[in-house]
């Protein structure tokens, strides 16, 4: 015990030397790095872990109860402790003393918790090593105790008892699920036997029970939110909202691209910008003028677009459909070259060519088309109203 106490005190004194060395190396004018609370906390934690390591090492050596192993372990422990103290003393010279010089202070780019990055990483590395040593000691103590227990049972128990112990031995998974050993199955037997298969009154596994309890809690919260307080939308409402949101986004996209127009929804465009855009497309040398001429009078290939005779219909929807899908007389489909909005602009521009009578216009083709007059509200027949009122009376 005294040797172990001296061992711990030696480590403690080494840590103190390590802590004091930067102040001596830096000199009186430089501030001590141990004015930083984080450094003080880390050093204190390292000291406490070293004490824990000493206690666990003492327990492990005492449990081994072998003088030779104890001596070797003590020598190895003292050597490791000495190397650790020397490492900390050497590292402190290069980290703390260097960190207090004016050049390093001026050029330091990064600090962690008020200390240089190298100091922080060295101290956290030492703490990590100490934690790994503690975990290793605990594992060794556990296996040592398990080995001693098995050795004691083997030496004192009969072969039948050893076989019974092995038969009743539970794995960690069985212990986690709180299962009973084979020797206690008689207490769990419910008396139901089916072809040699007995029914036992085992507890449900904890993970299953806790999962089931969580589903009950979740169901209660779900019921309250969605069906009682209505603080959250139902699945149907969520679906309707998502569909409406998607439709709005589609319409917005279609409006930007001009793709919200087809042969069923197209309307006659009358704004100057749309007519000018339609004219620019129509007079493009690679488009309509090739067959219909620059003024729409037609030529040997295309028909006249300025008269009242139309082969495939003369209203705005017919014109749009012809431009979009082409015609049997050889006109190509423009749906891959023009957007729906552009096709509506071209069709609207063609409607403005009616009655312009260009020179050398081609003879009429197709059937006569008359523009439909806008429906008007018929005037009320005062006589009929008066007669009706008299009749009703």
| DSSP code per residue over 13-74 | HHHHHHHHHHHHHH-TTSPPGGGSHHHHHHHHHHHHHHHHHHHHHHHHHHHH--HHHHHHHH
Same domain, 30 and 102: yes
Query: What's the distance, CA 60 to chain centroid?
Result: 47
Spatial distance between the Cα atoms of 169 and 181, rounded to a whole number of angstroms: 7
- Inform me whether the pLDDT recorded for 166 exceeds 70: no
Same domain, 140 and 169: no
Q: How confident is the model at residue 141 (pLDDT cuts 50, 70, 90)?
A: confident
Q: Is residue 194 part of a domain?
A: yes
| pLDDT of the residue at 109 | 47
Average pLDDT over residues 343-361: 89
Q: Is residue 80 part of a domain?
A: yes
Same domain, 188 and 88: no
Same domain, 9 and 146: yes
Same domain, 9 and 97: yes
19 burial via Cβ count (<10 Å: 0-12, 13-18, 19+): buried
Same domain, 48 and 147: yes
Give the CA count within 13 Å in the CB-facing half-sphere of 282: 25
Complete DSSP assignment for 197-235: EEEE-PPPPHHHHHHHHHHHHHHHHHHIIIIIS--S--H
**CATH number of the structural domain spanning residue 364:** 1.10.760.10
Expressed in angstroms, the distance from the first to the final Cα of the chain is: 127
Average pLDDT over residues 131-150: 81
Same domain, 24 and 56: yes
Question: pLDDT of 305-328, one tens digit each?
Answer: 988 889 888 899 999 999 999 988
Spatial distance between the Cα atoms of 128 and 200, rounded to a whole number of angstroms: 48
Which of 95-99, 229-233, 385-389 has the least mean pLDDT? 385-389
Question: pLDDT of 49-76, one tens digit each?
Answer: 888 888 887 777 776 654 445 445 444 5
State what percent of residues in the chain have pLDDT above 90.
17
| pLDDT of the residue at 234 | 86
Query: What's the distance, CA 37 to chain centroid?
Result: 38
More confident residue, 1 or 37: 37
Q: Is residue 95 part of a domain?
A: yes
Q: Is residue 229 part of a domain?
A: no
Same domain, 138 and 169: no
Considering 145, 168, 200, which residue would you say is the last residue of a domain?
200
Q: How confident is the model at residue 359 (pLDDT cuts 50, 70, 90)?
A: confident
Average pLDDT over residues 177-199: 75
Q: Is residue 248 part of a domain?
A: no
Same domain, 69 and 101: yes
Same domain, 87 and 114: yes
Same domain, 8 and 152: yes
Whole-model pTM above 0.85?
no
Domain that residue 179 falls in: 159-200
| pLDDT of the residue at 11 | 55
Which of 46-55, 84-93, 185-194, 310-319 tops mean pLDDT?
310-319
Instruction: Report how many domains make up the chain.
Output: 3
Same domain, 50 and 106: yes
Q: Quote the crossing angle between the two packed helices 67-99 and 2-26, to the nearest 10°.
A: 10
């Amino acid at each position: 015990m005294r040797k172990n106490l001296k061992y711990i005190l030696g480590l403690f004194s080494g840590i103190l030397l390590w802590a004091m060395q930067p102040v001596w190396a830096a000199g009186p004018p430089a501030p001590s790095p141990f004015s930083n609370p984080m450094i003080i906390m880390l050093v204190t934690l390292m000291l406490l872990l070293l004490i824990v390591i000493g206690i666990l090492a003492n327990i492990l050596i005492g449990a081994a109860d072998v003088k030779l192993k104890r001596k070797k372990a003590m020598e190895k422990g003292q050597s490791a402790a000495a190397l650790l103290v020397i490492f900390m003393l050497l590292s402190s010279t290069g980290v703390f003393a260097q960190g207090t010089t004016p050049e390093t202070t001026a050029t330091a780019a990064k600090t962690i918790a008020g200390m240089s990055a190298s100091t922080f990483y060295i101290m956290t590395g030492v703490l990590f090593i100490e934690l790994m040593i503690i975990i290793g000691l605990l594992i060794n103590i556990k296996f040592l105790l398990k080995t001693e227990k098995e050795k004691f049972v083997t030496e004192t128990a009969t072969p039948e008892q050893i076989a019974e112990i092995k038969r009743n031995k539970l794995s960690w998974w069985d212990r986690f699920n709180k299962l009973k050993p084979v020797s206690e199955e008689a207490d769990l037997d419910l008396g139901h036997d089916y072809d040699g298969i007995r029914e036992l009154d085992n507890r449900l596994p904890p993970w299953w029970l806790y999962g089931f309890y969580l589903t009950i809690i979740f169901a209660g919260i779900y019921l309250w939110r969605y069906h009682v307080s209505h603080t959250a939308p139902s699945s149907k409402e969520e679906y309707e909202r998502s569909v409406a949101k998607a439709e709005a986004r589609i319409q917005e996209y279609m409006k930007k691209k001009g793709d919200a127009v087809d042969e069923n929804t197209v309307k006659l465009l009358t704004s100057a910008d749309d007519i000018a855009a339609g004219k620019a497309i129509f007079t493009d040398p690679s488009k309509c003028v090739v067959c219909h001429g620059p003024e729409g009078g037609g030529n040997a290939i295309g028909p006249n677009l300025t008269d009242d005779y139309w082969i495939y219909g003369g209203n705005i929807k017919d014109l749009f459909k012809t431009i979009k899908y082409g015609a049997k007389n050889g006109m190509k489909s423009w749906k891959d070259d023009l957007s729906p909005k552009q096709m509506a602009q071209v069709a609207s521009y063609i409607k403005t060519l009616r009655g312009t009578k260009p020179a050398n216009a081609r003879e009429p083709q197709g059937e006569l088309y008359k523009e439909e007059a806008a429906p008007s509200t018929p005037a009320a027949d005062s006589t009929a109203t008066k007669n009706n009122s008299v009749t009703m009376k």
